[in-house]
Chain A
Amino acid sequence: GAGVSQSPSNKVTEKGKDVELRCDPISGHTALYWYRQSLGQGLEFLIYFQGNSAPDKSGLPSDRFSAERTGGSVSTLTIQRTQQEDSAVYLCASSSAPRGGRYFGPGTRLTVT
């Protein structure tokens, strides 16, 4: 079956521009997560959705970062006024339940120039 998909796969943007990253979770998965992975680093948790609500936003690094999820499915991560330190791979994962295994998408590689 279809896995988690993310778009775009690569995004190059100029410092100060806004970007939107999209995640399509596995159909039927109610839980959705965003992570950030800098080059050669581990996984940094950003935000968790259960359905359309976000009970845990504790990982968002600043108010320039926001995310929404509509229809209990697609999620968009928005970064406003991008900075060079935002350059990273942004990974989305979904799960059938909070306690279950998390299934990751291929990620979006964001480069801020």
Chain B
Amino acid sequence: QQQVKQSPQSLIVQKGGISIINCAYENTAFDYFPWYQQFPGKGPALLIAIRPDVSEKKEGRFTISFNKSAKQFSLHIMDSQPGDSATYFCAASSGNQFYFGTGTSLTVIP
């Protein structure tokens, strides 16, 4: 059973546009929701994370929106740039349990 469902599988956005990646979870015990960015040939890098006591967290062009009642969270990349082209993974965690989404391949077209 997939603990974290991520969509879309792939996304193509024009430079300057907004990229939105969505994740959903079932386990209400999850209390930590990070996003990872992975470039080809590299390991995933922690990008931004949120805990369920807030509904939004913003770091530069990256924003996590969190909807506790809907058990959904999303990553928004504002003013998307070609350098943002990468695979993005969401995750949800509680204690030692840590579950990744299946990843979204983002391509930003110049």
Which residues of A pack against B, CB within 8 Å? 4, 31, 33, 41-43, 45, 48, 50, 55-56, 91, 93, 98-99, 101-107
Q: Identify which of B32, B44, B95 contacts A43 (C-beta below 8 A).
A: B44
Residue of A33, A43, A55 with most chain B CB atoms under a 10 A cut-off: A43
Closest Cβ–Cβ distance, residue B107 to chain A (whole Å): 14
> Is B22 part of the contact surface with A, judged by Cβ < 8 Å?
no
CB-nearest residue of chain B relative to A95? B98
Please provide the 5 A-B residue pairs with the shortest distance between their CB atoms, ordered closest to farther.
A104-B43, A98-B96, A42-B102, A43-B100, A101-B46
Contact A107 B95 (CB under 8 A): no
Give the chain A neighbours of B52 by CB distance below 8 A: none
Residue of B93, B96, B100 with most chain A CB atoms under a 10 A cut-off: B96
**Interface residues in B22-61 (C-beta closer than 8 Å to A):** 31-32, 34, 36, 41-46, 49
Contact A91 B43 (CB under 8 A): yes
CB-nearest residue of chain A relative to B36? A104
Q: Identify which of B43, B46, B101 contacts A105 (C-beta below 8 A).
A: B43
Closest Cβ–Cβ distance, residue B104 to chain A (whole Å): 10
Contact B96 A101 (CB under 8 A): no
